[in-house]
Amino acid sequence: MQSNGDHLDKIHIRDLLQRCVIGIYDEERRDKQDVVINITLHADLRKAGQTDDIDDTVDYKAIKKNVVAMVDGSSFLLVERLAERIAEICLKDARVRQANVRVAKPGALRFARTVEVDITRTQEDMPK
């Protein structure tokens, strides 16, 4: 997604397996459950590609650490809220212009492998 002539490349964090309390039912609130997180960060990576300098790119390791810490300590009712919080963490880095977040909750529905929520947020979506 490009706007105002911005160049956007992508960084993917794929299949980040975490455990957290998530759900509305009592049995879901007792024990941590698996969630699988996929994140795509949209940013202009040209400068980093030219300079080979870590300071010129998005620190995706720091973003991953912040996501892991938040998810591990979270206790949301809805997968939608968990996805929203992950997007907020990603967009704290001003270089990230857009974040696509997909959170899967394996086994949430009987006879279905997984249920997933997929959201897209931009810097403009974040509260100021």
Q: Which residues are marked as active site?
A: 105
Closest CA to 72 of 16, 14, 115: 16
Four-residue CA torsion sign, 59, 9, 85, 117: negative
Q: Is the four-CA dihedral 119, 113, 18, 59 of positive or negative sign?
A: negative
